[in-house]
Structure 1
Amino acid sequence: MSDRYAVYDRLKFDYPAERVLRMTFDRPQTFNSVDAETHTQMTDVWRDIDRDPNVNAVIVTGAGKAFSAGGDFGLIESLTGNFDQVMATWKEAKDLVYNIINCNKPIISAINGPAAGAGLVVGILADISIAGKKAKIVDGHPRLGVAAGDVAPIIWPLLCGMAKAKYYLLTCRAISGEEADRIGLVSMCVEDEVLQDTAIEIASELANGAQSAIRWTKYSLNNWLRQAGPIFDTSTALEMLGFMGEDVKEGVASHREKRKPNFRKDCPI
């Protein structure tokens, strides 16, 4: 294992095939939830992957029964009402998305089980996304009391259309792997027992293909996302603004107490 990945102790790395790097969210005891340090590491790692001459393709997956449960409550509560922390997280959230978009290596996500929040950013933004049938995809930002930020507003409408994107992002309804495949939110859905093998097969094919052609194709296609940068920047800023309000406190409390939230009914906008 290259020393360049030794600093990323919240992530696990291995090489399942020649010139294929697999990165695994490795907090199975919390369904691979993302704390502050994990968020920083999953933001920064893409620059090292981009510069790694020994890697031609990347697989991203989760340890245990989940891909990633998203930001943990400790991270969310550290943001609430904390202007400096919100600003730092806004920058990091932008860097995460742009670092993935600009990474020159093709990224394949193997979405096993629940996928939400910051982890879902990687899963959906991957160049080829493969969901197992037990995958459960959900963007739950409004249910938490903040606007849907991360990467959803710039890529969900491209993948599954505006009507489906609005339906799922406004209602926070979960999407199965098969339904995500049907509406075009992921590249494909496979049986759970062949998920990793399918990801390795595709990654190996890309790792052994014409590298300049593959990387330039990715770069060109990602200009659809780059030109939508202002949409992303605005959505993420509005998400961060929500952490300065009261609804997010009720959102977190309702999650902890496993009840329906009681958000304020009036809104000044």
Structure 2
Amino acid sequence: MTDPYARYTRLRFDRPHPKVLRITMDNGRMNAADDAMHAELAEIWRDVDRDGSVNAAIITGAGNVFSAGGDFKMIQSNIDDFHARTRQWREARDIVYNIINCSKPVVSAMRGVAVGAGLVCGMLADVSIATKDCRIIDGHTRLGVAAGDHAAIIWPLLCGMAKAKYYLLLCEQLLGEEAERIGLVSLAVEDADLDPKAVEVATKLAEGAQGAIRFTKYALNNWLRQAGPIFDTSLGLEFLGFSGPEVKEGLASHLEKRKPSFPPGV
């Protein structure tokens, strides 16, 4: 029988439990999302949904980092190339909707830093677990584009509008312990406890009443489906921003390790 996961190059897989698939983002560059990983994060949730041998999934990052955000080459291609930009827009949309629509429960295990496309999966997981010192950052406005990847669909629901606006507009760093306190993540644990806790939670989900769990996830995620137009707007405005001047300065400032000097606003 063909292995549905054999084609993946930026994600690796293991089974901490016969019915639990652990997905590890692993590309050797702080697990930043390059073109290949971005595409794979859009596809993996369809494969998990179809795989009858999987009852629950874990998403985590290799080494000491969950994911360091978008690869700078990918960002540059979004600036330079309309066709790359539209492809990335479709994939970004699919990452969000495919994890929402995946019938199997997903557990995230985040440590180090959690940014960008990886953070999308971390925040949209049904149970999100972070180390207490995990640095959660939605870096969009610092880059010069709207916070479109996932934040508008889920952050206000999790932590309230006031906190969501504070962290998303200012790109302030949020540690896992504080994220748990404000309700942005399900649990915050010590680093040594992260992987065992993720496996424990995923195992309970995998051994539970599958119909009841999946139907409950489906019903709860109707809150997110109702917010689909909000997400679609934020994502469209993010990718509109890739054609403007602010992102060019934002990317240059990252590459040159300096404070950005953005042009006058729209």
- The bucket for the TM-score relative to the shorter chain is over 0.9
Residue 107 of structure 1 corresponds to 106
Residue 193 in structure 1 maps to residue 192 in structure 2:
yes
Residue 255 of structure 2 corresponds to 256
In 1, the alpha carbon distance for the partners of 2:80 and 2:30 equals: 27
Residue 71 of structure 1 corresponds to 70
**What is the TM-score when the length of structure 2 is the normalising length?**
0.98
In 2, the alpha carbon distance for the partners of 1:158 and 1:2 equals: 40
In 2, the alpha carbon distance for the partners of 1:2 and 1:213 equals: 30
Following superposition, the deviation at residue 2 of structure 1 comes to 6.7
Residue 24 in structure 1 maps to residue 13 in structure 2:
no
Say whether the 8 Å CA contact 1:242–1:248 is kept in structure 2: yes
Pairing 1:128-207 to 2, within 5 Å after superposition: 128-207=127-206
- Report the residue type matching 2:198 in the other structure: A
Q: Once the two structures are superposed, what CA deviation does each residue of 1:48-102 show, in whole Å capped at 9, x if it has no partner?
A: 1000000000001000111001111000000104222211211111111100000
- Report the residue type matching 1:3 in the other structure: D
Residue 265 of structure 2 corresponds to 267
Say whether the 8 Å CA contact 2:129–2:185 is kept in structure 1: yes
Could you list the structure 1 runs, at least 4 aligned residues long, displaced by more than 2 angstroms after superposition: none
SS in 2 for 1:137: strand
Unaligned runs of 5+ in 2: none
- Report the residue type matching 1:267 in the other structure: G
- Report the residue type matching 1:30 in the other structure: R
Residue 60 of structure 2 corresponds to 61
In 2, the alpha carbon distance for the partners of 1:51 and 1:215 equals: 13
In 2, the alpha carbon distance for the partners of 1:181 and 1:149 equals: 22
- Report the residue type matching 1:209 in the other structure: G
- Report the residue type matching 1:166 in the other structure: K
**What is the TM-score when the length of structure 1 is the normalising length?**
0.97
SS in 2 for 1:225: helix
SS in 2 for 1:34: coil
SS in 2 for 1:129: strand
Residue 3 of structure 1 corresponds to 3
Residue 82 of structure 1 corresponds to 81
Say whether the 8 Å CA contact 1:151–1:232 is kept in structure 2: yes
In 2, the alpha carbon distance for the partners of 1:5 and 1:228 equals: 31
Residue 234 of structure 1 corresponds to 233
Q: Once the two structures are superposed, what CA deviation does each residue of 1:126-168 show, in whole Å capped at 9, x if it has no partner?
A: 0000001221000010000000001100100000000000000
Following superposition, the deviation at residue 223 of structure 1 comes to 0.2
In 2, the alpha carbon distance for the partners of 1:45 and 1:267 equals: 38
Residue 92 of structure 2 corresponds to 93
- Report the residue type matching 1:176 in the other structure: L
Say whether the 8 Å CA contact 1:82–1:244 is kept in structure 2: no
In 2, the alpha carbon distance for the partners of 1:54 and 1:180 equals: 33
Moved more, 9-18 or 210-219: 9-18
- Report the residue type matching 1:247 in the other structure: E
How many residues align structurally?
266
Say whether the 8 Å CA contact 1:19–1:207 is kept in structure 2: yes
Pairing 1:106-125 to 2, within 5 Å after superposition: 106-125=105-124
SS in 2 for 1:22: strand
SS in 1 for 2:23: strand
In 1, the alpha carbon distance for the partners of 2:46 and 2:137 equals: 27
- Report the residue type matching 1:117 in the other structure: G
SS in 1 for 2:114: strand
In 1, the alpha carbon distance for the partners of 2:193 and 2:140 equals: 31
Following superposition, the deviation at residue 175 of structure 1 comes to 0.5
Say whether the 8 Å CA contact 1:140–1:172 is kept in structure 2: yes
Task: Evaluate the alpha carbon distance shift between residue 96 and residue 63 of structure 1 in structure 2; reply closer, same or farther with a 3 A threshold.
Answer: same
SS in 2 for 1:251: helix
